[in-house]
Amino acid sequence: MYSKIDLRSGYHQLRVREQDIPKTAFRNRYGHYEFQIMPFGLTNAPAVFIDLMNRVCKPYLDKFVIVFIDDILIYSKDEKEHEEHLKVILELLKWEKLYTKFPKCEFLIPKVQFLSHVIDSRGIHVDPAKIESIKDWSSPKTPTEIRQFLGLAGYYRSAPILALPEGSKDFVVYCDASHKGLGVVLMQREKRHYLYGTKCIVFTDHKSLQHILDQKELNMRQRRWLELLSDYDCDIRYHPRKANVILEAQIEALKPKNLEKEDVGGMIRTDIPKERLEPCTDETLCLYGRSWLPCYGDLRSVIMHESHNSKYSIHPGSEKMYQDMKKLYWWPNMKADIATYVSKCLTCAKVKAEHQRPSGLLVQPAIPVWKWDNITMNFITKLPKSSQGFDTIWVIVDRLTKSAHFLPIRENDSIDKLTRLYLDRIVTRHGTPVLIICDRDGRFTSNFWKSFQKALCTNLDMSTAYHPKTDGQSERTIQTLEDMLQAYVIGFGKGWVKHLPLVGEAQLTGPEMIQETTEKIILIKQRIQAAQDRQKNYADRKRKPMEFEVGDRVMLKVLPWKRVVQFIKRGKLNLRYIGPFKVLAKVGDIAYKLELLQELSRVHHTFHVSNLKKCYADEPLAMPLEGVHIDETLQFVEEPVEIMEREIK
């Protein structure tokens, strides 16, 4: 025995929290309004309402009640038991002040239609409305049509077809395509997620598809299909069209009847224009007033070169160049040829900015095992010289606990003095670190420092060229330190060196970090892992994956960040990229080693992928280096000729 209850305007029976009411505001021609009850169409509305119904009916769920959003199904063995169950649910709805729509409710019935299925004492059946297409199959009039219908009906009447999937067996997919549509039959179930994690066999009447997985050269469409098929472990096999009775019957049944000429008379155009080439006065052929350029020698390339490189056009983009050229010229596949030509222009590759997401997904260093095992270090330079002569701060940060040491030094201190300071302030207090992450400062890249760390069994992990995000921990700490020192100097005066110990001990290192226990270290590592996962999720949304192969030619960005790496003194008219350079090797996941010129031998040859872009031009390397003095960091000092204006921030 069954009863079905439908709630009246289900979502409207829930009130919106008062502080969230403004979020439901909408406007029409009569003014602005806000919903006080939950409207239809909100993203979380179904989840919130079904959560309410599950909590209301929780004591009786799957005992004699099934709930789906605002539909309630009550089932019992006999009529007497059903009356008791029905009374319990109705009193429950009354207590919760949930109102039903009586015309849509059904009580004490032996068969009920619920969620597009028919349920009775014998089980669950298909809704008759769902099989109308088969019921309305037109009567077969030829022997071929009779065989099609009997073959399909006989196949789907057999018991093995109407069975649940067996996870231990392979899936078999039959597919057939025509200009009318695509017919697919999954022999166990129709949902594709059943194919994930199991081997499946795909039968198709397209013979060449059985080799698509082994094909070496693919066009863009085939690559997209291959990417889709890579989600499945499938074996594609050829199945002749005539032998594929099931899908052939589906496709043939979809074909419309032959149309009479009177039916399509209004859709036929009688004044079809004649597209033909006409001779012009200059003995060229024209189509609608545009010169037709034959594929004769380099004629098309010459025209594109003049339209792109002349001083009147000044390297337009592919779309602008096409719109300009199509007014005067025409040839087959003209737009694609122009796009290819522009992509190979070396000047455009050098000067035009990219308006795309930066390349390279976020790669994060591993979480340290213990405190002060993994540290980062950097320098704050160009500070006002103190009375003791200090003008630089050596920032050393523990990557696990985030505790830091700020050591005042002089910019011209020798590496020997820095080594003794490092031993006294870091090694004697915290032990020898396992790994040091730093940038490519000359003090860190010196042979003495490398040999010293090698003797301590400490690995040096230096950032790639022009990618300070590698040492993001130190960069962020330096930013906070500079803000605090400025505030201290403004508020209390005197030199910054006197305030440095207060900043390090009281602000950047919390009291809970003074004595870490094993439990605290475990908790810290868990929170760091959660933070890294969250940061990677956010960062990768605004990035795109990019990979290069060994031997590819790439352009190198020469303005990676503000005020750094300028090659020629033209201010805002500097080149954005130089190159092309050959990729020699891939370093890690997102860095590449390049083959640089002899003039750049002092520059580190490994670069982050975000500073590279692929070069399609066939021209050799062209980079003006006359009169430019480049150091190992690709920087030079520009001294002002005259101060024209001042601005106070």
Question: pLDDT of 601-630, one tens digit each?
Answer: 777 777 877 778 888 777 765 555 544 444
The answer on pLDDT for 25 being more than 80 is yes
- Burial of residue 51 (CB within 10 Å: 0-12, 13-18, 19+) is exposed
Closest CA to 585 of 596, 593, 577, 575: 593
How many other CB atoms are found less than 10 A from the CB of residue 547? Answer: 12
The full length of the chain comes to 649
Boundary-marking domain end, from 204, 238, 254: 254
- Residue 216 counted as domain residue: yes
Q: What is the pLDDT of residue 634?
A: 47
- Residue 266 counted as domain residue: no
Q: What is the pLDDT of residue 74?
A: 87
The string of pLDDT tens digits covering residues 33-76 is: 888 888 887 878 888 888 888 888 888 888 888 888 878 888 88
Query: Quick one: pLDDT band at residue 521, thresholds 50, 70, 90?
Result: confident
Asked whether residue 142 falls in the same domain as residue 124, the answer is no
CATH of the domain at 626: 2.30.30
Q: What is the pLDDT of residue 170?
A: 58
Query: Quick one: pLDDT band at residue 556, thresholds 50, 70, 90?
Result: confident
Q: What is the mean pLDDT of residues 514-535?
A: 74
Q: Are 180 and 255 in contact (CB under 8 A)?
A: yes
With a CB cutoff of 8 Å and minimum separation 6, the contacts of 279 are 285, 286
Tell me whether the omega of the peptide bond preceding residue 511 falls within 30 degrees of 0, making it cis: no
Q: What is the mean pLDDT of residues 540-560?
A: 77
Q: What is the pLDDT of residue 565?
A: 44
> How many Cα atoms sit within 13 Å of 60 on the Cβ side?
21
Asked whether residue 384 falls in the same domain as residue 505, the answer is yes
* Separation between Cα atoms, residue 546 and residue 359, nearest integer Å: 6
Task: Look at the chain and report how many structural domains it folds into.
Answer: 5
Q: What is the pLDDT of residue 64?
A: 86
Asked whether residue 171 falls in the same domain as residue 62, the answer is no
CATH of the domain at 169: 3.30.420
Query: Quick one: pLDDT band at residue 638, thresholds 50, 70, 90?
Result: very low
Q: What is the mean pLDDT of residues 130-144?
A: 71
Asked whether residue 115 falls in the same domain as residue 203, the answer is no
Q: What is the pLDDT of residue 262?
A: 53
Q: What is the mean pLDDT of residues 451-474?
A: 77
Backbone φ, ψ for residue 119 (5° rounding): -120, 130
Q: What is the pLDDT of residue 253?
A: 55
SS (H, E, C) 375-420: EEEEEECCCCCCCCCCCEEEEEEECCCCCEEEEEECCCCCHHHHHH
Show the CA angle centred on residue 82, arms to residues 76 and 87, nearest 5°. 135
Taking phi over 0 as left and psi of -120 to 50 as alpha, with beta for the rest, 197 belongs to left
Q: What is the pLDDT of residue 546?
A: 76
Boundary-marking domain end, from 86, 102, 128: 128
* Separation between Cα atoms, residue 321 and residue 310, nearest integer Å: 12
Boundary-marking domain end, from 109, 128, 147: 128
- The pair of structure tokens assigned to 319 is 């779309």
Alpha carbon 386 to chain centroid, angstroms: 49
Asked whether residue 378 falls in the same domain as residue 504, the answer is yes
Share of the chain above pLDDT 90, in %: 0
Closest CA to 440 of 476, 418, 406, 466: 466
Share of the chain above pLDDT 70, in %: 70
* Separation between Cα atoms, residue 133 and residue 645, nearest integer Å: 80
- Burial of residue 91 (CB within 10 Å: 0-12, 13-18, 19+) is exposed
The string of pLDDT tens digits covering residues 218-247 is: 787 877 777 777 777 778 888 776 555 555
- Residue 260 counted as domain residue: no
- Residue 124 counted as domain residue: yes
Task: Give the 3-state secondary structure of residue 562.
Answer: coil
The answer on pLDDT for 511 being more than 50 is no
- Residue 539 counted as domain residue: no
Rg (CA), the chain: 37
Beta-bridge partners for 123: 120
CATH of the domain at 98: 3.30.70.270
With a CB cutoff of 8 Å and minimum separation 6, the contacts of 625 are 567, 599
- Residue 538 counted as domain residue: no
**Where is pLDDT greater, at 95 or 590?**
95
- Residue 361 counted as domain residue: no
The answer on pLDDT for 509 being more than 50 is no
Asked whether residue 408 falls in the same domain as residue 511, the answer is yes
Asked whether residue 434 falls in the same domain as residue 576, the answer is no
Asked whether residue 39 falls in the same domain as residue 77, the answer is yes
CATH of the domain at 496: 3.30.420.10
Distances (CA, A) of 618 to 310, 349, 581, 585: 20, 12, 12, 21
Asked whether residue 503 falls in the same domain as residue 642, the answer is no
Asked whether residue 502 falls in the same domain as residue 397, the answer is yes
**Where is pLDDT greater, at 597 or 507?**
597
Q: What is the mean pLDDT of residues 200-219?
A: 77
Asked whether residue 382 falls in the same domain as residue 511, the answer is yes
The answer, as to whether pTM is greater than 0.75, is no
Question: What is the span of the domain harbouring residue 25?
Answer: 2-128
- Residue 350 counted as domain residue: no
The string of pLDDT tens digits covering residues 292-313 is: 666 666 778 888 888 888 877 7
Helices first, then strands: H and E counts in the chain: 18, 27
Q: Round the average pLDDT of the chain to a whole number and report it.
A: 74
**Where is pLDDT greater, at 549 or 353?**
549
Asked whether residue 500 falls in the same domain as residue 607, the answer is no
Q: What is the pLDDT of residue 119?
A: 82
Alpha carbon 155 to chain centroid, angstroms: 44
